[in-house]
Amino acid sequence: MVIAVEPQTKLNKFEKFKAEKDGLAVKDELEHFAQIGWEAVDKTDLEHRLKWLGIFFRPVTPGKFMLRLRIPSGVISSQGMRVLAEIIQRYGDDGSADITTRQNIQLRGVRLEDIPDIFRKLNAVGLTSIQSGMDNVRNITGSPIAGIDGDELIDTRELAQKVQDAITNSGQGNPAFTNLPRKFNIALEGGRDNSIHAEINDIAFVPAYREGELGFNVLVGGFFSAKRCAPAIPLHAWVPPNEDVVTLSCAILAVFRDNGSRANRQKSRLMWLIDEWGMDKFRAEVEKVFGKELLSAAPKDEMDWDKRDCLGVNPQKQAGYSYVGLHVPVGRFDDAEGMFELARLAEVYGQGELRLTVEQNVIIPYVANENVETLLAEPILQQYAIAPTPLVRSLISCTGSQFCNFALVETKQRALNIARNLDQKLEIGDRLRIHWTGCPNSCGQPQVADIGLMGTKVRKDGKTVEGVDLYMGGTVGKDAKLGTCVRKGIPCDELPEVLEELMLEKFGATAK
Ligand code: SRM
Ligand code: SF4
């Protein structure tokens, strides 16, 4: 595979080490790394190339790695969940896991010497972590209730899996797409409620009728970064819900791979290339690789609902069955127990399958209606509730300083404490979405929230303390819009008061 890159002099330091040795190359060295131990591994392999396999060295907890899976559309079998639980169980107090904002799972506490064995176990249940970090395509998102939603337009599960298989060579690793200029996000929406935040993906397929035929309009270029946030814009193209989705995704990736900037990493995401070329040229270049004429877009898309969070008991498309959405506070599994229990519930009450959501929660599909009451009486539902208090219910948080070295603040625990306290003090309508993110990288998507909180450092009483910038105005679902920063530098110890006032004044809250 010959990859057209800019002249060497312009390459940033990441491009230089990628040119020296492809990230995927470490796949063949895992057994060796496991034998020599992490301290002896080459620094660039350790801190960067291992991310091509989903293995993240954590400077905050050296020797205890994070392993990022790929779970297309957030669909995972109970066996898969049990294997993930077994992996973290062996690490005792160090072992934990998170559901991510891309309906995926990350494991923590993982030791390099165990990786070969872990990969064999993942393989046996059809799971992979390949190409989940660095300059690769992230988890392919899709509606978490695909195939069970009575109002669904297109069941995108198979397509999402096919896109993943094409990009990763069915989990074996695909050198054609392991040297992108930057990370890349793809989402497929098949429902009416924009469940996957189409607007913040580099490619989003959204349901649309063209001349009476149901398929997808295509949006491109959406992204967040510390320097710039941009919503996705129309490619002015429509594809039917078949192999064209896979071919077009690969065509866009190839155009990005061969033409995206490799000089400044802050200007490397797809939108920068679209800006440089203009949409007409970008579309024409994509068309060349696609190999046939792109059809013009349908006049409108079909995403015309408010976004659902899928919690609670919901009727399924299949008569006699419900899907039950359980709330996992800020997506965190502190230990293996909760994961084992969810796997068990999926087998006893469902059909051995779980779904993950971009709200960092879990769904058990296919619960026979007559069994719902018994499921709701299971003790674990005290922990993973179907109807948590309003602020906790819609709370999202990125990893934060506990494990992420980019973080400027601790997020998850603080987010939960503040939400729980305010839920006790205030009467709030049924939804107020708060998103926390520990730094300007925006993994916790503060720009899509009613109230977004982005970690920063603040000077207070002559000291540097943890603080946040406050975002407002983000909307989700139909006509989703990004929010903006409305107030900077609030010290975290003043935040509960600031939020309380804000909710009373702007969000119709009343004191209890
Ligand atoms: Fe992210 C880098 C965690 C979703 C934008 N993100 C990181 C790293 C890998 C940094 C690092 O090496 O420590 C974080 C790992 C911390 C850890 O130990 O967990 C990290 N990102 C996450 C997760 C786990 C947040 C969460 O708690 O859910 C999400 C994992 C998703 C997944 O399953 O793959 C996660 N990250 C996002 C999103 C949200 C989304 O995709 O909807 C974004 C904004 C959308 C986007 O990418 O356009 C996001 N992450 C970033 C960026 C900024 C990208 C940029 O173009 O500048 C970085 C930094 C970078 O790539 O240089 C980053
Ligand atoms: Fe880490 Fe920043 Fe992403 Fe949070 S937003 S996970 S602190 S990189």
- Same domain, residue pair 396 and 375: no
Burial (CB count within 10 angstroms: exposed 0-12, middle 13-18, buried 19+), residue 289: middle
Give me the CATH number covering residue 228.
3.30.413.10
399 CB near ligand 2 (under 6 Å):
yes
Query: 378: CA distance to ligand 2 center in Å?
Result: 34
211's torsion region: left (phi>0), alpha (psi -120 to 50) or beta?
Answer: left
In a domain, 353, yes or no: yes
Which parts of the chain register pLDDT below 50? 1-2, 5-6, 8
Residues 383 and 407 in one domain: no
Q: Is residue 148 part of a domain?
A: no
Which of 309, 340, 367 lies at the terminal end of a domain, its last residue?
309
Q: How far is the CA of 211 from the centre of ligand 1 (A)?
A: 38
At position 18, the amino acid (one-letter code) is K
Same domain, 55 and 101: yes
Q: Are residues 347 and 296 in the same domain?
A: no
Whether 329 and 343 share a structural domain = yes
Q: Is 174 a domain residue?
A: no
Examine the domain organization and report whether 381 and 399 are in the same domain. Answer: no
pLDDT score for 11: 87
163 inside domain: no
Ligand 2 atom closest to residue 438's alpha carbon, by position in its atom list: 7
How far away, in angstroms, is 399 Cα from ligand 2 center? 6
Q: Is 110 in the pocket of ligand 1 (CB under 6 A)?
A: no
Q: Which ligand has the shortest distance to the CA of 102?
A: 1
Length of the chain: 512
* pLDDT tens column, 137-152: 999 999 999 999 999 9
Range of the domain at 39: 1-131+311-388
Q: How far from chain centre, in Å, is Cα 431?
A: 21
Whether 56 and 100 share a structural domain: yes
Residue 151 maps to a domain = no
DSSP 218: E
pLDDT at residue 297, rounded to an integer: 98
Q: Is 403 in the pocket of ligand 1 (CB under 6 A)?
A: yes
Residue 401 alpha carbon to ligand 2 centre in Å? 8
Please tell me whether residues 42 and 100 are part of one structural domain. yes
Verify whether ligand 1 is closer than 6 Å to residue 445 (CB atom).
Answer: yes
> What is the reported pLDDT for 2?
44
Residue type at position 506: K
Phi, psi of 35 (to 5 degrees): -75, -40
Q: How many CA atoms lie within 13 A of 309 on its CB side?
A: 21
Is position 214 within any domain? yes
Indicate whether 12 and 127 sit together in one domain.
yes
Q: Is 399 in the pocket of ligand 1 (CB under 6 A)?
A: yes
CA distances from 293 to 87, 239, 274, 283, 300 (A): 47, 11, 19, 10, 20
Residue 172 included in any domain: no
If one residue of 404, 441, 447, 448 were mutated to test the ligand 1 pocket, choosing by the most ligand atoms within 8 A of its CB, it would be 441
467 within some domain: yes
Boundary of a domain, candidates 292, 309, 326: 309
Q: Could you write out the three-class secondary structure of 372-386?
A: HHHHHCCCHHHHCCC
Question: Among all ligands shown, which has an atom nearest to the Cα of 410?
Answer: 2
As a whole number of angstroms, the distance between CA 314 and CA 311 comes to: 8
233-239 and 213-220 strand pairing = antiparallel
For the annotated catalytic residues, the residue numbers are: 68, 182-183, 438, 443-444
Q: 236 and 333, same structural domain?
A: no
Let me know whether 270 and 211 are in one domain. yes
Q: How many CA atoms lie within 13 A of 38 on its CB side?
A: 20
Clarify whether residues 433 and 384 are in a common domain. no
CA 129 to ligand 2 centroid distance, Å: 19
- The dihedral of CA 385, 391, 397, 401: what is its sign? negative
**Per-position b or e across 67-94, b if 16+ CB within 10 A of its CB:** bbbbbbbbbbbbbbbbbbbebbbebeee
Residue 270 to residue 253: CA distance in whole angstroms: 9
Which tokens sit at 501? 């006032």
Q: Is 77 within 8 Å of 355 (Cβ atoms)?
A: no
Element (H, E) at 354: strand 353-356
Predicted pLDDT at 1: 46
301: left (phi over 0), alpha (psi -120 to 50) or beta: beta
Domain boundary among 294, 309, 324: 309
Determine how β-strand 451-460 pairs with β-strand 229-230.
Answer: unpaired
**Tokens describing residue 354:** 């779980």
Q: How many structural domains is the chain composed of?
A: 3
DSSP 132-160: -SSSSB-PPEE-TTTTT-TT-S---HHHH
Atom of ligand 2 nearest to the CA of 407: 7
Q: Which ligand lies nearest to the CA atom of residue 397 in the structure?
A: 1
Instruction: Tell me what pLDDT residue 396 has.
Output: 98
Residue whose CA is at the smallest distance from ligand 1 atom 3: 443
347, two tokens: 């087998």
